[in-house]
Structure 1
Amino acid sequence: MNDPIEMVDRLGTAFMSQDVARVLACFVPDDDITYVGSEAGESATGRGAVEKLLKDLFARPESYSWQASAATVHTVPGGAFVLAEADGAEHHPDGSVTPFPYRVTGLLSRRASGVWLWRAVQGAEPS
């Protein structure tokens, strides 16, 4: 079983892998999903649109990851809203890493198995 804060880290690790299927596995299995990144144009709703956006993001030479450093979780029956401060990292092809502050907010659904999965998530780079 996982918890909502672990899902922030799981998504960050999946992004670093640049594996579309691995990232989509962090979301509920139906079509009612949304991903919004921190840059203009990085917004998609629906499994097909999110998959296309992820393919475009992962075509970049750099990859990104993040890990929660603090979080607030508001739970409701069957769901949770997460607001997490995170340590982001931009991984460059030469092996160097550039750290940056990151924020992850979103809605998680709790499955009958007890596993939490993202329904909607937004990443932002606070200034």
Structure 2
Amino acid sequence: MKKATKIALTLVLAAVLLAVVYSFLWEEREPKLKVTVLHIGSIGDYGWTYEGHLGAQAMAEELPFVELSEREEACGPNAPQIMREYAEAGNKVIFCHSYNFGEYIEEVAPNYPDVIFMWGAGVE
């Protein structure tokens, strides 16, 4: 190959490579929706908590824009702090999978207006 052809080919390949790298680095990616499910018990109970876990997993598989996290045995005196930790970590939906979370949601939710707190089995 002539020297000019080699230089031209090298410049074309460099331009293509640069374009690919640029598009990869600067491509706008939609951030995932961070969703947390807080369970009252252990997933290994094969009862209420287990069924909630299966539902959460099915949702995450069906909705690719969801980044799911789950926390077992999250109800009780530490529940408000656990909810705050997830809200401050950028979770936009916190689903509390038990009737027992009600008073804790009422305590924490007003401080995080941009977070959706959902209450499974709640009555209010």
Q: Where on the TM-score scale, by shorter chain, does this alignment land: which range?
A: under 0.3
